[in-house]
Chains A and B, each alone.
Chain A
């Protein structure tokens, strides 16, 4: 394999990994944008996405098309996210930030361990998508990789349109701009926040299902490591910024893959996270983040 071909191959790997991180990071940024709170249960919602896919395929006796299953998973996990917000975070809306964060961590642990007690064994993901590998010019791309990158881009563009072109999107941006004045303008804050959680969780669930299809072994703790990495990605891109989350996801995916490509793979995590640390030193609010404004 020639040098250039190898780099091109690694670039494809980086984009695939980056798009999954980006989808999850979006969930963190959206919730932070409207509530200034990190939803640490998000990684476990990602894991539930993969399990939801397993359950849906197991429970429905006939073969559903892939896109239908994806939409069902997104709806189910979206509703779960909104439910968690209603039960665990809304009562703490006016409590100190720390309490909400600890509750989020607790929710995540609850989801993780309940799933673990119900399914301690790793489960294979059902074959929803038969992947064909295309070889050209020494490169190998599988239709699976193309599908994951494609669906991620579609979802991200759809989210961007939702935030910028719809009334609820505008309401979300208004709440993240100034949460105290918004209710005075007649905007149903609770409903908008529920929708924010729904959308963020739906994206996380979609990412979980895509991840489960790409790496078809589903375990109860698969969301933990990915959740933390996606959180780091969201912070790098600028927590609270939607475009920042996407950027951060691709940067993290790229750094992880390229540090393995050029250096001994044992140093991957060291290099990747040192680089991110350096970025944060120079840009403390992330690349596209804005410093919190103190309004008088």
Chain B
């Protein structure tokens, strides 16, 4: 019994000592990202971009807050692309690690529950990549959340851009949709696309679903083939879309595929190969039409990580930049002050273009681009202006 108590006592002391390790004052920013699970490439990009930003700021001495310079300290945690883990991580980062603000999650399924927690605990949150409108809207549908912002456009805008592209550029009158009913972003994108496409005069001839983790889509694709659409809309993440494309081609479906920004990881080319070639998708920025600011970011990212940054990396870099600007404007390391500073910024020029915020809204007005997968690369095809 005494052995047990002494062991318990030693472990408790060690735990307490481990707890009070870091005493240098710093701007603690939490990173709630998808490092394992369905989309590890997304989390890796976000982590890389955030670390690049922190490194650049810290090399210059840190963030200038109220006359004093504070280094940025990143607290990185993995949400495994699961909603429950994202909530747990948000809780831990905000309540236990006492971060000043949280960047992420990226996947809308994770960002939506995490945003409820950030809002309840009054901690500013910026999602770099979550496009589902629900992330910044209150759960009851009335009004926007006060503490949640994003660095990207929303699905309402994206659906409009895609529907217009499909109608005008691809000259398609009918479309089929296949999406993951259990995942927030694809679900929202599919429904908004159908709404917008039909309002513009198009017809959705087949609207099929599957669940996260499914690999066999032959039944749904057989139905889609029978409906004979001009184009197939696949708002899936980069790990699902290649399988769907491959099975569709094997079944003899020849019409083009159109995807959403969920496709944007270069992993999709590695996993999709010839079957995904020629497909179009909507994205947040294009390396082909990069501004000087974007080109510098791309060069720095390439030099540090030996790969080109994807849109998640670019958006995370912008989210960090936006947050950094707000921390400087706030003048103190206080969540409420940072939140007020975030809501006062009307325009932030970043790597992915200019983020313009309307007062009271955490959703920036931004342009989109349509890219095509050609010869194993993402090629710019068209712009989608708001």
Q: Are A and B genuine complex partners?
A: yes
Chain A contact residues, CB within 8 Å of chain B: 1, 6, 9-10, 13-14, 16-17, 116, 120-122, 124, 131, 133, 135, 140, 142, 144, 211, 214-217, 219, 221-222, 224-225, 256-258, 260-261, 264-266, 268-269
CB < 8 Å neighbour of A260 from B40, B220, B250, B270: B220
CA distance A221 to B81 in the complex (A): 13
| Interfacial chain A residues near B359, Cβ < 8 Å | none
CB distance from A51 to the nearest CB of B (A): 15
Supposing A142-B250, A215-B215, A217-B243 touch, asked if A121 and B222 sit within 8 A by C-beta, the answer is no
Query: Which chain B residues numbered 130 to 169 have a C-beta less than 8 Å away from chain A?
Result: none
B78: nearest residue on chain A (CB-CB)?
Answer: A120
Question: Quick check: A6 and B215 within 8 Å, CB to CB?
Answer: no
Supposing A215-B243, A216-B246, A219-B239 touch, asked if A16 and B251 sit within 8 A by C-beta, the answer is no
Question: Quick check: A217 and B242 within 8 Å, CB to CB?
Answer: yes
B55 at the interface (CB under 8 A from A): no
Query: Which chain B residues numbered 194 to 214 have a C-beta less than 8 Å away from chain A?
Result: 208-211, 213-214
| Interfacial chain B residues near A258, Cβ < 8 Å | 219
Question: Quick check: B40 and A225 within 8 Å, CB to CB?
Answer: no
Question: Quick check: A10 and B239 within 8 Å, CB to CB?
Answer: no
| Interfacial chain A residues near B247, Cβ < 8 Å | 215
CB < 8 Å neighbour of A120 from B35, B208, B210, B219: B35
Question: Quick check: A17 and B220 within 8 Å, CB to CB?
Answer: no
Supposing A217-B271, A266-B181 touch, asked if A13 and B41 sit within 8 A by C-beta, the answer is no
Supposing A144-B250, A257-B219 touch, asked if A1 and B226 sit within 8 A by C-beta, the answer is yes
Question: Quick check: A265 and B243 within 8 Å, CB to CB?
Answer: no
CA distance A1 to B222 in the complex (A): 9
CB < 8 Å neighbour of A17 from B216, B243, B250: B216
CA distance A17 to B35 in the complex (A): 31
CB < 8 Å neighbour of A269 from B211, B216, B218, B250: B211
CB distance from A230 to the nearest CB of B (A): 13
| Interfacial chain A residues near B211, Cβ < 8 Å | 268-269
| Interfacial chain A residues near B250, Cβ < 8 Å | 131, 133, 140, 142, 144
CA distance A219 to B239 in the complex (A): 10
Main secondary structure of the interface of A (DSSP, over half): helix
21 A-B pairs with CB atoms under 8 Å apart are: A1-B225, A9-B222, A10-B219, A13-B216, A13-B219, A13-B222, A14-B219, A116-B36, A121-B267, A122-B267, A140-B251, A142-B250, A214-B216, A215-B216, A216-B246, A217-B242, A217-B243, A224-B213, A257-B219, A265-B220, A268-B210
CB distance from A14 to the nearest CB of B (A): 8
B292 at the interface (CB under 8 A from A): no
| Interfacial chain A residues near B360, Cβ < 8 Å | none
Question: Quick check: A260 and B273 within 8 Å, CB to CB?
Answer: no
CA distance A258 to B222 in the complex (A): 11
A259: nearest residue on chain B (CB-CB)?
Answer: B219
CA distance A135 to B253 in the complex (A): 12
Question: Quick check: A257 and B239 within 8 Å, CB to CB?
Answer: no
| Interfacial chain B residues near A225, Cβ < 8 Å | 213-214
Supposing A120-B36, A120-B40, A217-B242 touch, asked if A261 and B222 sit within 8 A by C-beta, the answer is yes
CA distance A135 to B213 in the complex (A): 29
B223 at the interface (CB under 8 A from A): yes
Question: Quick check: B273 and A256 within 8 Å, CB to CB?
Answer: no
Question: Quick check: A222 and B215 within 8 Å, CB to CB?
Answer: yes
Known contacts A17-B218, A116-B36, A120-B36; 19 further A-B pairs (Cβ under 8 A): A9-B251, A13-B218, A13-B219, A16-B218, A122-B40, A122-B271, A124-B273, A133-B251, A140-B251, A221-B213, A224-B213, A225-B213, A256-B219, A261-B219, A261-B222, A265-B208, A265-B209, A266-B209, A269-B211
B67 at the interface (CB under 8 A from A): no
Query: Sorted from nearest, which 5 A-B pairs have the closest CB atoms?
Result: A260-B219, A13-B218, A215-B215, A1-B226, A257-B219
B253: nearest residue on chain A (CB-CB)?
Answer: A140
Which residue, of B210, B211, B218, B239, has the highest number of chain A Cβ atoms within 10 A? B218
A20: nearest residue on chain B (CB-CB)?
Answer: B216
B252 at the interface (CB under 8 A from A): yes
Question: Quick check: A6 and B222 within 8 Å, CB to CB?
Answer: yes
CA distance A121 to B36 in the complex (A): 7
Supposing A140-B252, A144-B250 touch, asked if A124 and B219 sit within 8 A by C-beta, the answer is no
| Interfacial chain A residues near B214, Cβ < 8 Å | 225
CA distance A124 to B268 in the complex (A): 10
CA distance A209 to B129 in the complex (A): 35
CB distance from A20 to the nearest CB of B (A): 9
CB < 8 Å neighbour of A121 from B40, B208, B220: B40
| Interfacial chain B residues near A269, Cβ < 8 Å | 211
Supposing A211-B215, A219-B239 touch, asked if A265 and B210 sit within 8 A by C-beta, the answer is yes
CB distance from A53 to the nearest CB of B (A): 16
Question: Quick check: B223 and A261 within 8 Å, CB to CB?
Answer: yes
B272: nearest residue on chain A (CB-CB)?
Answer: A124
A258: nearest residue on chain B (CB-CB)?
Answer: B219
Query: Which chain B residues numbered 250 to 303 have a C-beta less than 8 Å away from chain A?
Result: 250-252, 267, 270-271, 273
A-contact 0/1 string along B38-51, CB 8 Å cutoff: 00110000000000
CB < 8 Å neighbour of B219 from A214, A216, A224, A265: A265
CA distance A257 to B247 in the complex (A): 15
CB distance from A267 to the nearest CB of B (A): 9
CB distance from B211 to the nearest CB of A (A): 6
CA distance A17 to B239 in the complex (A): 20
CB distance from B70 to the nearest CB of A (A): 33
Which residue, of B219, B226, B252, has the highest number of chain A Cβ atoms within 10 A? B219
CA distance A277 to B225 in the complex (A): 32
B215: nearest residue on chain A (CB-CB)?
Answer: A215
Question: Quick check: A122 and B239 within 8 Å, CB to CB?
Answer: yes
A222: nearest residue on chain B (CB-CB)?
Answer: B215
A142: nearest residue on chain B (CB-CB)?
Answer: B250
| Interfacial chain B residues near A211, Cβ < 8 Å | 215
| Interfacial chain B residues near A122, Cβ < 8 Å | 40, 239, 267, 271
| Interfacial chain A residues near B213, Cβ < 8 Å | 221, 224-225
Question: Quick check: A135 and B252 within 8 Å, CB to CB?
Answer: yes
CB distance from B8 to the nearest CB of A (A): 26
CB distance from B60 to the nearest CB of A (A): 33
CA distance A256 to B250 in the complex (A): 20
